Structure 1
Amino acid sequence: MPRQNPRVQYTRDALRCALLELLLEKPVKHITVTDVCARAGINRSTFYLHYKDVYDLLEQMENDLIDEMGRTFSTQPSASLQGHIEAMLCVVQARRPLCLAILSEHGNPQFVKQLGRLTREGFLQHWRSLFPQAPERLLELVYAFSTSGASAVIEQWLLADCNEPPEQIAHLLSLFAASCLNSCKTMLDS
């Protein structure tokens, strides 16, 4: 991959940081290109060399994060489910400011759903192997419950400056999912 011009990288980084700061203050629909440029100390015409509008900038940032998380699955295809969760949490921790902004009250609620679509099939496939008799609908409900709870746990972890190591949070999330699945198995067996 060719190396990017340092000035271009600096400009993009400054614009991205400015948007992240602004997202913690107000919703994206109230953030203008002028706001981003003023915060970044970048000229508006320079902004438009890189992005169409504020939504394009945010979408590119989110897509980069999704791509990075997706690579954790493709680079570790044989990892355990907990291993995948831990790898994703390492990405979340490394990209903490972006994740905090996205998960904030002014962030993009669709992002969590997009991330859920990324992980969905891997989780369901793993659970099908553990509980082959479980109805598909039940697994879907457990997944919905687990991802909602995981989002809340991850948000709290981010807000607490990621005090616990990713492997500890991954273990906790795996235990929550396993507990839920074991309860469902008990229900099916009775």
Structure 2
Amino acid sequence: MAEKLDRRQVRTKQLLHKALMELMREKKADGITVTDIANRASINRGTFYLHYRDVPDMLEQMKDDVFEQIKVIVTQLDFNELSQCAEKDEPYPLSVRIFEEFSRHAEFLTIMFGTNGDLSYVNRYKNFLTEQIYDKFTYLQPQEEKMHIPRDYLIAYISSANFGILLHWLESGMKQTPQQMGMIMAQIITYGPIISSGLRGK
């Protein structure tokens, strides 16, 4: 009986999530009411309140859940392993996993990163990515005097470029597979734009 109830709760949440995503394609979240979601999901308002306090609470839970799932993978990034894969013309497995995770949440992320989305949520990913790259590069190269450019500019370039690649992939309809994107990411990080463009050999 408990398992049947759990399945019903999961199904109800899926209907609520689907309804919210459909509505966010039409208008911003702050213009969406519980009644809007309940009507779109074909459930009553009381059922909504069994799961969430209000629309902001629902959206915040969804945002946190997706972010945490992606965060777990990103924190495992190893730039040495990534570079080794690029030198062998192989996709970096962890990059592939990141793109697979973005693909799983593509509808949600595309909406959240879009015009009806949440700029603070975009910045949450950007800031997290910047922190991760800073920590990992500082560990790999702790000596500032050996760097060819200031560390903060290098980190800004890498984090913006990588987040830009993820955004472009989502916005352009994810035509490439996660494996192909893992290869693209590894090549650009390892060789930079000049070599990746073919203007200079590896």
* TM-score for both structures, normalised by structure 2: 0.74
| Alignment of 1:171 onto 2:183 | yes
When residues 49 and 170 of structure 1 are mapped into structure 2, their CA distance, relative to the original with a 3 A threshold, is same
Counterpart of 1:118 in structure 2 is 128
The answer to whether 1:139 aligns with 2:140 is no
Q: 1:109 aligns with which of 119, 137, 141?
A: 119
Query: Equivalent residue for 1:65?
Result: 66
Please tell me whether the aligned partners of residues 100 and 159 of structure 1 are also in contact (alpha carbons under 8 angstroms): yes
3-state SS of paired residue (1:5): helix
Instruction: Tell me the amino acid that sits aligned with residue 152 of structure 1.
Output: G
Q: Secondary structure at the match of 1:154?
A: helix
Q: Which runs of 5+ in 2 are unaligned?
A: 83-91, 195-202
More moved, 84-93 vs 114-123: 114-123
In the alignment, residue 24 of structure 2 is paired with which amino acid?
L
Q: 1:62 to 1:134 in 2, by over 3 A?
A: same
Shift of 1:120: 3.1
- CA distance in structure 2 between the aligned counterparts of 1:103 and 1:164, rounded to whole angstroms: 20
How many equivalent residue pairs? 180
Name which of structure 1's ranges 77-86 and 31-40 shifts more when overlaid on structure 2. 77-86
Equivalent-residue separation in structure 1 for 2:44 and 2:127 (angstroms): 37
**CA root-mean-square deviation:** 3.0
Q: Which has the larger radius of gyration?
A: 2
Partner of 1:100: 110
Within 5 Å, which residues of 2 pair with 1:38-53?
38-53=39-54
> Is 1:88 matched with 2:98?
yes
Query: 5 Å matches for 1:151-162?
Result: 151-162=163-174
Identity %: 26
Code of the aligned partner of 1:126: K
- CA deviation vs aligned residue, 1:75-130 (integer Å, no higher than 9, x gap): x5668455443322110101111111111111111112222343333322332355
Q: Give the Cα–Cα distance (whole angstroms) in 2 for the partners of residues 138 and 56 of structure 1.
A: 41
